[in-house]
Structure 1
């Protein structure tokens, strides 16, 4: 029988517990948003929602601020660039002008000196065959001129003089639009005409050209409308009924400009063009490739007048105001 006074054996100590290993979710919370860490799951979820909402709102506000700044900057840059482009667009000439004198098939030829009896014997005659007077004209320094528009009664020219003509092409590479609304002769000077003799080509019909004509005996700043018989405003001020659009991709403006000076020889420095754009009214000169222009009239009392037809050349008698009478056509 065991001794009841012997103490029972001691119990072994409890085994140590393994430390709690945080979950992946806890690691992400502690790393990404430590401010949301909390031992209480409910509070932790609330903190996570608040943090996420704050991040989303902050990101949206930052995005809008960035885009707004970019827009304001780009808008400012666009305005600055537009102003710079507009300044560059207006720095040079508004247009360029290609000018060439119309020397195609003149309707008459003027000579300073009358022909001698020998010269007349060479050209006068009605052989029934049209003569080629090119060599004769060149040898006698003839100047080709026109008369169709000048002699039409609707043009209102008092003197049967002659005109000279220029083709002018206006070209503008400006982005902005502009409108040509006026044209005048600048720096006009005149002296009595030297030409005393004219050979007039008839019977072939004068060509009708759309364009304008200056009669310097009446005005140097009001060109008149020319053109064919269908032209409604023939002989009226050109810019009362017409305008020329240039710039902004507009088709180049083409003109045929005639000038008649009656019994005077005239020179002028340039045609001065007036035009309107968004900034107001301006002027620009057109020259003959850097030089001035000249036109020749007929003497107040011509010495000789000849008609050149398909039948030959006939000498006529000069009359007042540039008119003449021919034996075959006494009504001329």
Structure 2
């Protein structure tokens, strides 16, 4: 959980008072969200097979902010999305000054797609890869397309973008074909997505500790 300003002494005392048993982690989030807190997940690198990602290499992103992407079309004619590419618009060092660290007790595979956005703006993102299942770690569009329109159901998917030491703003370019030819849809049509990295040396750092939260820096 990240904040862009230091916690006051009163806020630190309130956070320290939150117990971690039961719904404690959720209570920490309820405490921090009104103060401007944001959630960042540990990327579950271990979910990928030992042979690595299709095309070579291992996922390098350590942090993620997953979201649901719902693709739909109300067109009478069908269209086929035959690829999707993540495009980094800008990358910068993370700006958060407070990190509240609640390491996960474990991780489970999740159905969805992953892009590795690690590196600076000039580093081309890799993916999208299957997050889980028998095709885990394989490129989604190597053998798949997405059919929309003409009565097709909406396509809802979990997107897990991963970054390492830089926060990146980015968007998706989705080429598709329909009866009139080939086109490209930008997602989102306006603006960008942002995936935050966790600063290595925040001004304030708190780590999970029983029975409460202790200030470590």
Deviations 1:34-82 (A, max 9, x none): xxxxxxxxxxxxxxxxxxxxxxxxxxxxxxxxxxxxxxxxxxxxxxxxx
Structure exhibiting the larger radius of gyration computed from Cα positions: 1
CA contact (8 A) 2:114 2:159 kept: yes
Q: 2: distance between equivalents of 1:157 and 1:305?
A: 27
What is the TM-score with the length of structure 1 in the denominator?
0.50
CA RMSD in angstroms, aligned pairs only: 3.3
Distance change (3 Å), C-alpha of 1:138 and 1:251: closer
CA contact (8 A) 1:202 1:307 kept: no
Distance change (3 Å), C-alpha of 1:234 and 1:195: farther
Paired residue secondary structure (2:197): coil
Distance change (3 Å), C-alpha of 1:169 and 1:192: same
Distance change (3 Å), C-alpha of 1:317 and 1:241: farther
Q: 2: distance between equivalents of 1:144 and 1:207?
A: 18
Deviations 1:228-279 (A, max 9, x none): xxx11222222124321112222211122222222212223x3211123345
Q: Which structure has more strand as a fraction of its residues? A: 2
Q: Report what 2:111 is aligned to.
A: 210
Of 188, 194, 200, 1:287 maps to 188
Bigger relative contact order (CA 8 A; separation at least 6): 2
Q: Report what 1:79 is aligned to.
A: none
Q: 2: distance between equivalents of 1:225 and 1:164?
A: 16
CA contact (8 A) 1:148 1:207 kept: no
Distance change (3 Å), C-alpha of 1:170 and 1:113: same
Q: 1: distance between equivalents of 2:131 and 2:43?
A: 10
What is the TM-score with the length of structure 2 in the denominator?
0.73
CA contact (8 A) 2:112 2:157 kept: yes
Q: Report what 2:131 is aligned to.
A: 226
Q: 1: distance between equivalents of 2:59 and 2:87?
A: 21
